[in-house]
Amino acid sequence: MRSHTTSRRRRVAVSGIAIGAVALSGCAGAGAGAGSGSSEVVTLNLATVSNPQMKDMEQLKGEFEAEHPDIKVNFIQMEENDVRDAITKDIATQGGQYDVVTIGAYEVPLWQQNGWLTDLSQWADGDADYDVDDLFPPVRESVSVDGDLYAAPFYAESSLLMYNKEIFEAAGLTMPDNPTWQEVADLATQLDTDSDDYVGICLRGKPGWGEGIASLNTVVHTFGGAWFDEDWNAQVDQPEFKEALTFWSDMMRESAEADPVSHGFTECLNVFTQGDAAMWYDATSAAGSVEDPNSSSVAGKVGYVKSPTNLTEETGWLWSWNLAIPKTTKNPEQAWEFVDWATSKGYLELVGEELGWSRVPPGSRVSTYDIPEYQEAAAAFADLTRDAMLGVDPAQPGVNPQPYVGIQFITIPEWQDLGTQASQVFAEVYAGRMSVDDALAEVQQLATAAGEAQK
C-alpha cells in the first residue's frame, strides 16, 4: 500500500508549478499582505460543521501547511444549524467571507444553478492522482451537475441502528438482524427502566431540517408517507404521515432522553458513547467515533444493524458533507490545493496512521474499503455502511412515487425554510406542548405553499 507521505508529495510535485505561479502573481486573500512575491502567505477561511471528522481535519491541518508554506487555513467551526445559516447567508449575499465551505448534497445542485460554486473538475479531472473515479458513485453523482464536480466529498453516510451489546446481554434481549421499527420500540420500552443508568434509545429531536427532520423523514417514508404526491400536493396531513409522527413522538416520550428537543447528532453521540443509552439511531459516520477508545467508553461493545423498516425493504438516508469553493473567493487555486489534500486518498491514510483507522472519514472513496487496516478497525460497521449507501434510492425511498429527489431532505429551494419550520413545530409535539393533529395541520399549510411554488 502506498504511504500517505508518498502520495501527497507526488501531488505536490505535479502541482508545484501552478502553486509557484499563484504565489508570484501576488493574489491577495484574507490575512494576506498587499504586496507581491513568493513569500506572501495566503490565509484561507474554512467554514465547517463541528463534527468529529472536521475536528480531526483541523488537528491534521499542520501537515498540509508544512507542505504548503504559502498557505494557512483558518477553521471556523460551528454546530450544524449555525454553520448552515452562516454559509447560506454569506454565499447568497456574495459576502466573500469564506474560501472553502462545508456543504451537503442538498445545497450543491441548487447553489450550482445560482452560479455560486466553483467547478472543481477543472482541477480534479486532470489529476490522475486525485482519481475522481474512486469517489463513491452515488456520492459523486449527488455533488455533480452535468458530469462536472462542484464539491468534493469529505465523508458520506447512510443511517443505521447502534446498540450497546452489554446492556442487551444484561437485560436478556437480542437485537434482530433486520429489525422493524415496532421491534425497536418494543425493545426500547423494555430497556428504558426507572433507573438513571441509561435510556432505551437516543433520538434526534432538535429543531433544524438537518437535525430533527433527518431521522423522522426516514420513518415517514418507510411508513408509507411522503411530503408531496406526484403533482406537488402536500401530503403531511395524510394518515401515513400521521402514523409515522405519532410513532416517533411516542417512542421519544416513552423511551428516549428526557429532553429530546435539545438533542441532535452531537448530543446523542455524547450520550451513547458515555454508555447512557441502550440504542441510538443515526448516521453511519458516527460509528468511527463510537469505536474510538480514546473518546468512547463503549468502543468494542457496540452492535450495528440496518436502519429499521416498516413497509419498505430499505430506509436509510444518503448524505455527504463536502468541501466546496465559493465563486467569491479570491484564492481559488489555493483553496483547491486544500480541498485536494483533505479529500484525497492520502488524507484518509494520514488519518488512519496518525489518529486511528476507525476515525477515517467513511463513504467518500471506494478504495477506503480495500485498506486492510481500515477493514480490521471498522469490521463491525464498514460493510454495513457501504451496503446501506448503495441500497437506498433517493428518487423513491418510500412506498409511492414522489416528485422530488431526497430521503431526509427534498431537493427544492423551499426545503430549507420548510424543513426548519416543520422541525420547530414537531419539536412542540416531542415536548408535549402540541398535539400531533395540530402540528400536522400547521405543517400541511407550510408544505402546501412550498408545493404550489413547484407547480
User: If you average pLDDT over every residue of the chain, what do you get?
Assistant: 91
pLDDT score, position 193 = 75
Give all strands of the β-sheet with 159-164 in edge-to-edge order: 279-283, 159-164, 302-306
pLDDT tops 50 at residue 1: no
The three grid cell numbers given for residue 407, joined into one nine-digit string: 430521503
Q: Where are the domains positioned within the chain? A: 4-157+319-377, 159-316+393-452
pLDDT score, position 197 = 86
Dist CA 278 CA 293 (whole Å) = 18
pLDDT tops 90 at residue 341: yes
Identical fold between 4-157+319-377 and 159-316+393-452: yes
Closest CA to 266 of 250, 248, 283: 283
pLDDT tops 50 at residue 351: yes
pLDDT score, position 18 = 34
As separate numbers, helices (DSSP H) first and strands (DSSP E) second, the chain gives 18, 10
pLDDT score, position 196 = 73
pLDDT score, position 39 = 65
pLDDT band, residue 33 (cuts 50/70/90): very low
Closest CA to 56 of 352, 413, 416, 260: 352
Query: CB count, 10 Å around CB of 81?
Result: 18
pLDDT tops 80 at residue 304: yes
pLDDT score, position 406 = 92
When pLDDT is averaged across residues 287-300 and rounded to a whole number, the result is 94
Dist CA 245 CA 201 (whole Å) = 17
Dist CA 229 CA 455 (whole Å) = 12
The three grid cell numbers given for residue 404, joined into one nine-digit string: 422530488
- Give 184 or 2, the one with higher predicted confidence: 184
pLDDT tops 80 at residue 124: yes
Percent with pLDDT over 70 in the chain = 91
pLDDT score, position 159 = 97
pLDDT score, position 8 = 37
Task: Enter the pTM of the model.
Answer: 0.86
Q: 78 in helix, strand or coil?
A: strand
pLDDT score, position 7 = 38
When pLDDT is averaged across residues 143-154 and rounded to a whole number, the result is 97
pLDDT band, residue 25 (cuts 50/70/90): very low
Dist CA 418 CA 141 (whole Å) = 25
Q: Does domain 4-157+319-377 have CATH number 3.40.50.150?
A: no
pLDDT in tens, 159-203: 999 999 999 999 999 999 999 999 999 999 999 876 678 999 999
Q: In sequence order, what DSSP letters do the residues of 219-247 get, joined into one string?
A: HHHHTT--SB-TT--B-TTSHHHHHHHHH
pLDDT in tens, 77-107: 999 999 999 999 999 999 999 999 999 999 9
Indicate if the alpha-carbon torsion angle 51, 56, 59, 60 is positive or negative.
negative
When pLDDT is averaged across residues 282-301 and rounded to a whole number, the result is 95
pLDDT tops 60 at residue 135: yes
Closest CA to 291 of 357, 372, 352: 357
pLDDT tops 70 at residue 17: no
pLDDT in tens, 385-442: 999 998 899 999 999 999 999 999 999 999 999 999 999 999 999 999 999 999 999 9
pLDDT score, position 192 = 87
Assess contact for 199 and 277: CB atoms under 8 A. yes
pLDDT in tens, 51-75: 999 999 999 999 999 999 999 999 9
pLDDT tops 90 at residue 29: no
pLDDT band, residue 224 (cuts 50/70/90): very high
Q: Give the CATH superfamily of 159-316+393-452.
A: Periplasmic binding protein-like II (3.40.190.10)
